[in-house]
Structure 1
Amino acid sequence: MDSQQNLHQRGRHEITLYDLNLTPSVAFIEDDKPTGMQLAEKAGFAPTPQITVLQWLKHGLEDIRPTETVNLPDGNSRFIVAESDGSSRFIIDGVRYDWPAPRIPVSVIRMLASVPANKEIFLVDPDRGELLQAEGTVLDLSLAGVENLVTKVPTWKLNVQGVVLTLNTPKVKVRQALELAGVDANQGWHIFLIVQGQDKREVTLDDEIDLTAPGIEKLRLTPKDVSNGEASAELLRQFRLLPNDEAYLDSTYPSWQAILENGRQWVILPQYALPSGYSEHFVSLAIEIPTTYPMQQIDMFYLFPAVAVLSGAMIPATEYREAIQGNSYQRWSRHRGGNSQWRPGIDNVMTHLALVESAVVKEVQP
């Protein structure tokens, strides 16, 4: 027979009392069915209406009124006792909790709801979605409405040359990120980490990326120069773009080329990443720059090699082939509609590439 059973047989029961920070203290009470008033007294409070007694159950809290009794032999011997002039409410994973204070630390919510260490707590915001609540956060329950919380194993996203990875760890080695994106890490790349609001930074395969840092967006790749007698990339900038265009391409696609061929101007992106679902991971992307650009719009785009979708579905308006630098590029006849007409002075290479990205994603969306 254990000590707890001995106590019960003698009519003396061990209870655990907690404050609003869930700091425990052990007390003993000589009553099988104490009232809320008796429990408050055991916690050192005078039995006044401002004292709240909550029984801490496996799932949720139950208010114990001053004259209400609790059957201790049932085993529910945890109680939160606090001075309070009202209660607030929150819901976590569908379970309602009435809390005798207008604020509650996230660490206390974790203990109350028995949230395991591998899960994070998120506040569901109708406008902004699920917002991660850091462990040191204090949740304000006095705001209008009932705070709705959910728990889940967190994930982090990283865009590797257009392939979006969803990771269940906040840190990842560059090499591992490339391999997860289907990129041969040993091929020889200049790898740039792009963080919102900062200059791009070159990283190595052995560097570790902390995805919890604010602003991390993507890894961009460009092939390293190979000394094999070919012309340097500088010789392939055969015409000039607008300064904003060149700045954008330098930061996002450092290996871009500007080619003059048969009186036509082409911008080539030699390593353009396609989303999952295509027969190729990387292609050479070409867009034609009209001689009267930016007054005249950039239209369509071209891929080499020609691609297909793995589902077997036909990609419309891609039958025509265009010879550029001796390669047969697949023309994607995609044109601006009535709601997206070309705006000289506003639209440019960057906005056209946004339309390209939208077009290639559309063909492999479920």
Structure 2
Amino acid sequence: MSDHANLAGPDAAQRQYETAINDTLHSFRDPVVTGEQILETAKLFPTDEYLIFLKLQDGQLDEIRLDETVDLRTEGIERFITFKSDRSFRFTLDGRRFEWGLPFITGLQLKRLAGVDPKTYGVWLAQRVGDDRLIGNTEQVDLRAEGVERFFTGIDTTTEGAGPAVLPPDDREYLENCGIVFEERNEGGVKALVLKGRSLPSGRFDSGVVDILIVLPPAYPDCAPDMFYLTPWVRLVTSKRYPQAADQPYAFAGRSWQRWSRHNTAWRPGVDGIWTMLRRIERALEIAA
């Protein structure tokens, strides 16, 4: 028996059609609704300032015009996403075309649209020139540039906390929420964190971007990391010399790192974490002489 036949039964007038609008459930009596009715039900006014998209089963978004109708009698709950905007932006993700209602999109949003695990997959922006750019979970990509941005996902064993876990969950969550690209390493029993592509204070050093290595002591986070390490090695622009107590090598993971001998005796177990170490490193780089 068809759905249309079912509607003719005695309970047809009582039937409700559930939808999810921005992850909030709403019910409709009518099986066919317009985009404007969907926005009105979600109390999004004025409706002409909003865009509405139907989320398809494959994760793609199909824009619904205000006067366009949607049949709610299909199997499952129809899911809609809305944006307050007057235009949509196109991009491709893993070869599929998407419409997006905002001029920016984050790495985490791209991973969710692709239906991949955010912790084990990375997402890249394809570049016409140079290497493809890895997008952090909280990094925003501007979709207003000329042309259609092309993104792709894949297993990522070197960033976003993938690989062997050496950090406490709070540290990992902090780094991910800050959009910091990082790598957890365990080399010969030595646990360490590598912060990838970190910018240095402008004009102070002969390199503007470095990787930062933090070696974690066995009792971390109950005790503090001590020194930190950079690659490539940097010199002060003014003197052309290595900063004080930053002229010794440290070998780790097949690379020679510049050791910055900076010690810490004020560590509060249960309070301090990787965020504390980052502030220490930023301060040491700011005052290096």
Query: Structure 2 length as normaliser, TM-score?
Result: 0.53
Q: Which amino acid aligns with 1:195?
A: T
Unaligned 5+ runs, structure 2: 1-10, 165-182, 191-228, 235-246, 259-289
Identify which of 114, 119, 122 aligns with 2:121: 119
- How far off is 1:76 after superposition? 4.7
The structure 1 residue matched to 2:186, chosen from 166, 173, 182, is: 173
Match of 1:70 in 2: 70
For residues 138 and 63 of structure 2, the distance between their equivalents in structure 1, rounded to whole angstroms, comes to 27
Q: 1:39 aligns to what SS in structure 2?
A: helix
Whole-Å separation in 2 of the counterparts to 1:172 and 1:48 = 50
The one of 19, 24, 36 equivalent to 1:15 is 19
Corresponding letter in the other structure for 1:71: D
- Can you list the C-alpha shifts for 1:133-190, whole angstroms capped at 9, x where unaligned? 1111011001111111110112449xxxxxxxxx95533333279xxxxxxxxxxxxx
Find the residue that maps to 2:188 and give its secondary structure: helix
> Against the structure 1 CA distance between its residues 194 and 35, is the aligned structure 2 distance closer, same or farther, given a 3 Å change threshold?
closer
Residue 144 of structure 1: SS of its match in structure 2? coil
Offset at residue 47 of structure 1 (A): 6.1
Aligned to 1:235: none
Partner of 1:153: 155
Greater mean alpha carbon deviation, residues 69-78 or residues 118-127: 69-78
What amino acid maps onto 1:138 in structure 2?
Answer: Q
Tell me how far 1:48 sits from its aligned partner: 4.0
Q: Say whether the 8 Å CA contact 1:55–1:76 is kept in structure 2.
A: no
Partners of 2:28 and 2:81 in 1: how far apart? 16
Q: Which runs of 5+ in 1 are unaligned?
A: 1-6, 19-23, 158-166, 178-192, 210-216, 221-250, 252-366
**Partner of residue 38, structure 2:** 39
Distance in structure 1 (CA, Å) of the matches to 2:53 and 2:35: 9
**Quick one: which amino acid aligns to residue 142 of structure 1?**
R
For 1:218, give the aligned amino acid: R
Quote the Cα distance in structure 2 between the aligned partners of 1:174 and 1:219: 14
Shift of 1:8: 8.4
Note closer, same or farther for the CA distance 1:58–1:9 as it changes in structure 2 (3 Å cut). Answer: farther
Residues 31 and 155 of structure 1: is their aligned pair in 2 closer, same or farther, counting only changes over 3 Å?
same
Instruction: Evaluate the alpha carbon distance shift between residue 147 and residue 172 of structure 1 in structure 2; reply closer, same or farther with a 3 A threshold.
Output: same
2:21/2:80 contact within 8 Å kept: yes
% identity of equivalent residues: 26
> Normalising to structure 1: TM-score of the pair?
0.42
Shift of 1:106: 2.2
Is the Cα contact below 8 Å between 1:194 and 1:201 reproduced in 2? no
Task: Flag the 1:83–1:194 CA change in 2: closer, same or farther, 3 A.
Answer: closer
Which residue number corresponds to residue 95 of structure 2?
A: 94
Deviation at 1:197, TM superposition (A): 2.0
Is 1:49 matched with 2:97? no
- Matches of 2:42 and 2:110 in 1, distance apart? 22
- Native 8 Å contact 1:8 1:73 kept in 2: no
SS in 2 for 1:129: coil
Whole-Å separation in 1 of the counterparts to 2:102 and 2:70 = 23
Cα distance between partner residues in 1 of 2:133 and 2:93: 14
1:34 counterpart SS class: strand
C-alpha contact 1:47 1:66 (8 A) present in aligned 2: no
Name the CA distance, whole Å, in 2 between partners of 1:108 and 1:17: 17
Structure number with greater CO (CA < 8 Å, separation at least 6) is 2
1:30: which partner in 2?
A: 29
Alignment check: 8 A CA contact 1:153 1:168 kept: no
Contact 1:194/1:200, CA 8 A, preserved across alignment: no
For 1:51 and 1:93, the matched residues in 2 are separated by 27
- RMSD of the alignment, in Å? 3.1
Report if the CA contact (8 A) 1:37-1:47 is conserved.
no
| C-alpha separation in 2, matches of 1:49 and 1:144 | 26
